[in-house]
Structure formats: structure tokens, C-alpha cells
Chain A
């Protein structure tokens, strides 16, 4: 992606501290807190409902999630305690008119400045992860992913391998582990959402736009994928799977499927034009092609 925004993460830059004012240093230290918490805490902190996932960027997203959640729990918990304290401690006991205090400038300044610092910290952490995710590293494997109503087509350019499946057919995108895989994402009709839960990642497939990103899986396995952007009648059945295999298995799969998938593709293409898709109730067992 071209829109890489370079922000020096305050916690990670060792130089340039000495010539700054004391106040600025304090600001930087507060900004650095969530980032540092993120870096230090790692896997020992709770998951907050998310999972590390199976790619490098899914892991950094997960750590960012943990960082945001720590902030949310602290800020939210504190605010909730204050609300509940006010609710229980100041219940009306008499017809007394309380002191009509209206302003307390230092207090108001405090709860203006602290949130700004928290927000800047969250933004810095966001930028660190985002720059990693939108970076365009060198890739050796390219997969063209095309979304259509209501299925997916995975083309391996130069390999003569095409995988197509619609609704209940559950197509499988095979990719090698520990390899940067470049994805070219397009749509043939309406907007679809390419979403793999285990990758903690989604991206729109837009008609007329080539969306590109890099996936680097760190675990082998089979992961569920699904269209997340409403695309018409069978949106809910527009599922696919991602199978992450070892480099040797990947090569074997490519050679083994070169001709088969070409035939399959032709078959699916005709089907796509002629058939009116009536979904049967799909089960997990069926649809392996």
C-alpha cells in the first residue's frame, strides 16, 4: 500500500530525549505507557475475547487489541465506579438543597488533558501496528482472489491452478506457511468482504478496484473464511476456507492440481452462468473439492 504513514513510536525511539523539555518528556512517558504495556505484557495478559490468530499481522492486531482492552478496562472501570459511587452515595435523603457548585477548572482540565494523552497513546500504538500491516514486503507467492455472487475464485498466476466454488461448494484457498503471500483482491459484481477470522483481518472486494495485501501465515491448519459485506440473497452462504500447508505440500498441491482445477474452473464457469442456485442445507462435511 502506498499510504504508509511513518510515525516514530515514542516508546521505541531512544534518541532525542535529552534536548526536550521536562514536560514534553512526561507527556512522552504517558504516551509510551500503552505501547510499553503492549510490548512487555505480550501473551501473559488476558485475551479479552480475541485470539492471536494464524498470521504475523493477526498477532500484532491481537496485541493491539489487548492494549486497547487494558485501557478500556481501566478507564471504563474507573468511570463505572464513579457513576455507581454517585448513584449510591448521593441518593436523596432530605429536601436539603446541596451546594450549587458548577465549575472546577483544574478538575475539568484534568479530564480533558488525560483523555487527549490516552488517545495519542492509542493512536501511536495503532500506527505501529498499522504500518506493519499495510507494508508491502517482498513476496514470492501471489494469489488472485476474485469474489462474485455468491462464491470465490482463487487463481494462482503462472501456475495454471484455479479454484472456484460457490455457496455450499466451500472453495479452499491453499497457501504456504511462513511465506509472504501477496493477495490481489477483486470483485466481479457487487462489494464483498474477504474475511478470515483466524487472520483477524478483512478487506472489501470492490468492483473496479484492485485491493492488495500480504498475508504471512505462521501456523498450518484450515481456517474458515466468509463474506462479511452484504452482497445479496446468498450472502450468508458465501463461505470459503483457507488451508495453510508446508512449503513442500504447497508445491505438491500446485503440481497435482494444475490440470484438474483448470477443468473444474471451466465447469464452474458454465455453472455460474446457467444454474439458478438453490442452496441445500450445507453441512461441514460436504463441499470439499
Chain B
């Protein structure tokens, strides 16, 4: 790739030895294994995370199949506990998280800020290999005697101690989570350093695209939250094997302490998962509406306040323990609705009076808006302790976070359709994409909405049978139908990848994009740019392509009108 350079370009912050290595280094699989290129690592992350999504989805389909009749014996009680534990763990720890801050972030953030690579390319490679190793470690639990971890993805003490959950599956779960946790921490360090230090000249903080802003806040949250989880996991391991009594009552320990530690990580984690997808959706909506992000600065402040508030709400998962201060955590949790609402209205405002092009990516973004609206509103109920007493640990909660996470999945799919062409050079088929969208969107509502009703009728979480309540059967079956529809959408996605393989060349800028990644080639060269436009707003590529249409405030044009050939070589 780099030998087409004319004249030879030295990347602004590149490592000379690295570049030299790429010229004469290994090829094929060895090249992939030794690469430090953020785009290759990002693709590895993407492929691994999508495989995890398929595995987690398959586990979910078995769970849904088991629940179609009140006394089904498709799987045993023990297997069922493994299934939902690993479904949750794979989806949260191995799919949504790594996809959010490892996959598209890794590929796009450096290009969006005009950087040649991440700040620490070798650390970035280490992140990926830790993630892959951790994933395999956690999943290998299925192949050991006693089976995989079976204490739920939250691993509440003392159920997770060595008396109640003996067996290697639980230890592999802890080990796998430690490894992926370190992977996340290193990615957090890398993203912070990259965003703070490798921005191209002219790319001030308030000219950063919203996606990059969201990843910055995500990275900061990772650095604040993940080390706490790591510490907690080590404590749990010590309790299991070294005779400590941190979470066990007989030795003077406190079981609820685990919940504090877990949720101190776990609630920021919700936003660590969500913010990158908020960013993706923001970019998609702006580009396909041909308008700047409405209320850009408000959006940034909303993201910052979500990040700040998310550190003070963890005990809303613990209202029913009876040992937390209810009013504080209630008001903090309710307040998060405010910046989230600002984002929602900014997204609508971005579409308002635009020219909205419903490509698959944009459909996914709109699907995200509607699904996230449902999940967000039902989340407000759960911030109120009396209503949480009513719905806690019932299917209402399951429905709530599945609305949220399925919205994120739509964001992820939108991101893949939007940025996939940039990184592969080829578009995906739009017709199959739209079929995929409708299965995903309708399937999501069909599988989550009955769960809300089940919760209100008293169905608890994590039960394989409900012999005393045959009346729950119909809603469970409906939910299963929805889960199958979502499964079909995943198959459609796979079919689309195969069908569209190197079929539709994308060109550099297929969507008339706004940000720097659309200024370079598809796929970008080794160190991303041969040249950069002048960066005078958060939309340098748009400003370059549409010099007469820069963002206006209250209907007035902004001061600067970049000239058409306003570009600088990367030296």
C-alpha cells in the first residue's frame, strides 16, 4: 500500500521502525498476528465481536426455546443456569463492550482526528490478544467438568463462592473476565492518549466529531470503572481459593460489598457500552440528513454529564437489598434522563428539515431511536425505589435492558453498514440490509414487549420452568417468536456479507460524509492520510466538498468559508 506514495510522506507521529517493518515484514497470517495497525486490529476486534454475538445469540435462542412451555425439559436446570449466565456474559463482556470500544472505535477514532495510528500501537495489539484470550478462556468453561459458570452474569456473592459454585467453569469465567478487563483498560489508556495527543493541526477539542467525543468519555469511564472490577474479581478469586472471607459472612465478610464493587463498575459499564453507539448514531443521522449535528456543543456537554452522573448511580441496582440510601441513588438515576433526553431531541433536531436518505445505516439509526426510547422510558420507572421494589428481578427489568441493548445492536449494525465500506472498500447490499433491518426491528419489539407484561404479571428472571403459572406461556411464546426473528436478521447479515463480497466498490466517500475518515481512501493507506483538508469545524470533509454550505447559527452562515483546494499535506 505504502509504495504508491508520491511524494513519500512521513506520518506526523508515526514510528519509523514500524513503517519500515510493514514494508519488509511478514505476510499472510503472520502479518495479521504481528500487526500493530489500528485498522487491522480493529477489524480483528469486529470479526471476533460479531462471532461472539452469534454465539451469545445462539445461547439466547436455546433459552427462549426452553421457555416456550411451563414445564419444558429441553435443557436441565443446571444447563439453563449455565445458558443464561454465559448468554449475559458473552453479550456484555465479549460482544457489546469490545465492539463498542475495541472494534469501530479502534478503526475510526484515529482517522476521525487525522492521526496515523493509535498512540500506543503495540499496546493496542496486546489489547486485542488479551480480549481474544479472555473470550476463549471464558467460553472454555463449557468444556470442563461441571460446566460453565452458572451464577448469573453478575456473580453475586455468596452464590459465587467455592461452596455454592465449585468447579473450574466459574474460575475460567473469572479468569476470562480479568483478561478482557485488562484489555479494556489498555484500550482506555490508548484512546485517551490518542484523542488528547494525536489530533491533527486544527482539530481542536470542539471540532472533534461526536463519535470521538463519546469514545473519549467512554475511555475515561473505562479507566475509572474497570480497575474496580479487576480488584473485585481478584477478591472473589481469593475468597474461592485462598481462604479469604471478603464476601462471606462466617469469616466476617460482607456479601453486599460484592454488589457495591460490581455495580460501581457495572453502571458506568452501561454507559461504556452505550456512549460509543450514541456516537455512531449521531454521525449516521447527521450524514444521512445532510445536516450538521444539531446542538453539537449541547451534545458534548450531555455526554460529559452522562459520564459524570453514571459514576453515582450504581446502587439503583441494589434498592431491594434494603441497605442502600434510596433517595440519593434515586435522584441521581432520574437525572440521567435529562442529558439522555437532550441527546434524543438533538438527534430529532438533526433530522428536522433535513434531506433524510434511508439507507440501511440510517434505518438502523432510526430503529435505534425508537427502541432506545422504549428502553429509556422504562428505565425511568426503575430509578424510583417503590417501582423497583415492584419490578426488581422480574422480566420487566429483563425487557428494559434488552430494549436498551437491542437498540445498541441496531446502532452497531448501522455502524457496520456506515463505516464498513470505509475499511473494506466495498459496500454491502442495501436490499438485504433493509430485510435485515426489518427482521431486527420487528423481532426486537416482538421479543421485548411481551417481557414487560410478563414482568408486570410477576414472572421472575432466571427461571427455566414456571409450572404454577401456565398463563405466562403465551407471552413467552410470543417473545420466542421475536427472538427467532432477530435470529433471522443475523442470518440475513451473514448472507449479505457473503453475497456482497467485493461486489460493490465504495469509493472514498459513498455517503457524502462529514468527517476526516471520508477524506482518505477506502480502505485508508497504512498511516491513514496522504493529505488532510483544512480543519475549521467538526465537519472538515463536508466543508471541503461543500464550501458554500458551512454550519449556520440561527440561520446565519458561519464566518469562515474554506477555499475549495484548502488542503495540507501530512508532513
A→B interface (CB under 8 Å): 1, 3, 5, 7, 49-50, 57-58, 60-61, 64-65, 68, 71-72, 75-76, 79-80, 82-83, 86-87, 90-104, 107-108, 111-112, 115-116, 119, 122-123, 125-127, 129-130, 133-134, 189-191, 193, 195, 197, 200-204, 206-209, 211-213, 224, 226-237, 239, 281-284
Cβ–Cβ contact B394 & A228, under 8 A: yes
Given A75-B377, A123-B330, A207-B255, answer yes or no on A115-B338 (Cβ-Cβ < 8 Å): yes
Minimum distance in angstroms from A8 CB to a CB of chain B: 13
Cβ–Cβ contact A228 & B392, under 8 A: yes
Cβ–Cβ contact B164 & A189, under 8 A: yes
A-B contact count (CB 8 A): 272
Cβ–Cβ contact B353 & A235, under 8 A: no
Contacts A/B (CB < 8 Å), 30 sampled: A49-B456, A50-B456, A61-B386, A79-B348, A83-B369, A86-B351, A90-B356, A98-B291, A101-B294, A108-B295, A108-B342, A119-B334, A125-B384, A130-B326, A190-B159, A191-B159, A200-B390, A201-B389, A202-B392, A204-B322, A209-B323, A228-B392, A228-B394, A230-B462, A232-B164, A235-B462, A235-B463, A236-B462, A236-B463, A236-B464
Q: How far is the CA of A191 from the CA of B469 in the complex (A)?
A: 24
Extra contacts besides A104-B295, A119-B331 (20): CB < 8 Å:
A49-B453, A76-B373, A83-B348, A86-B351, A87-B366, A94-B355, A97-B355, A102-B551, A103-B294, A104-B294, A115-B337, A119-B334, A122-B334, A122-B380, A126-B386, A207-B158, A208-B254, A229-B156, A229-B393, A236-B466
Cβ–Cβ contact A5 & B326, under 8 A: yes
Q: Which 9 A-B residue pairings sit nearest by Cβ, starting from the closest?
A: A197-B458, A236-B463, A208-B249, A228-B393, A86-B351, A5-B327, A228-B460, A211-B322, A126-B384
Q: Does B341 contact A (CB under 8 A)?
A: yes
Given A3-B326, A226-B458, answer yes or no on A126-B369 (Cβ-Cβ < 8 Å): no
List residues of B (268-297) whose CB comes within 8 Å of A's CBs. 289-297
Minimum distance in angstroms from A134 CB to a CB of chain B: 7
Cβ–Cβ contact B554 & A103, under 8 A: yes
Q: How far is the CA of A95 from the CA of B545 in the complex (A)?
A: 14
Cβ–Cβ contact B356 & A233, under 8 A: no
Cβ–Cβ contact B293 & A123, under 8 A: no
Q: How far is the CA of A108 from the CA of B255 in the complex (A)?
A: 45
Q: Collect the chain B residues with CB atoms within 8 Å of residue A189's CB.
A: 158, 164
Interface flags, B339-350, vs A, CB<8A=1, else 0: 001101110110
Interface flags, B387-413, vs A, CB<8A=1, else 0: 101101110000000000000000000
Q: How far is the CA of A99 from the CA of B327 in the complex (A)?
A: 45
Q: Does B467 contact A (CB under 8 A)?
A: yes
Q: Collect the chain B residues with CB atoms within 8 Å of residue A87's CB.
A: 351, 356, 358, 366
Specify which of A92, A116, A129 lies most central, judged by the most chain B CB atoms within 10 Å of its CB.
A92
Cβ–Cβ contact A99 & B352, under 8 A: no
Q: Collect the chain B residues with CB atoms within 8 Å of residue A230's CB.
A: 81, 151-152, 156, 159, 461-462
The closest CB in chain B to the CB of A112 belongs to B342
Cβ–Cβ contact B77 & A65, under 8 A: no
Interface flags, B356-380, vs A, CB<8A=1, else 0: 1110000000100110011001101
**The one of B156, B384, B555 that contacts A191, using a Cβ cutoff of 8 Å:** B156
Given A61-B386, A100-B552, A111-B345, answer yes or no on A1-B393 (Cβ-Cβ < 8 Å): no
Q: How far is the CA of A82 from the CA of B353 in the complex (A)?
A: 12
Q: Collect the chain A residues with CB atoms within 8 Å of residue B555's CB.
A: 99, 101
**The one of A49, A97, A200 that contacts B290, using a Cβ cutoff of 8 Å:** A97
Q: Collect the chain A residues with CB atoms within 8 Å of residue B352's CB.
A: 86, 90
Cβ–Cβ contact A60 & B386, under 8 A: yes
Q: Does B99 contact A (CB under 8 A)?
A: no
Q: How far is the CA of A224 from the CA of B380 in the complex (A)?
A: 27
Given A112-B342, A230-B461, answer yes or no on A98-B348 (Cβ-Cβ < 8 Å): no
Given A90-B353, A211-B322, A283-B467, answer yes or no on A115-B341 (Cβ-Cβ < 8 Å): yes
Q: Collect the chain A residues with CB atoms within 8 Å of residue B122's CB.
A: none
Q: Collect the chain A residues with CB atoms within 8 Å of residue B377's CB.
A: 72, 75-76
The closest CB in chain B to the CB of A111 belongs to B345
Q: Does B325 contact A (CB under 8 A)?
A: yes
Cβ–Cβ contact B355 & A93, under 8 A: yes
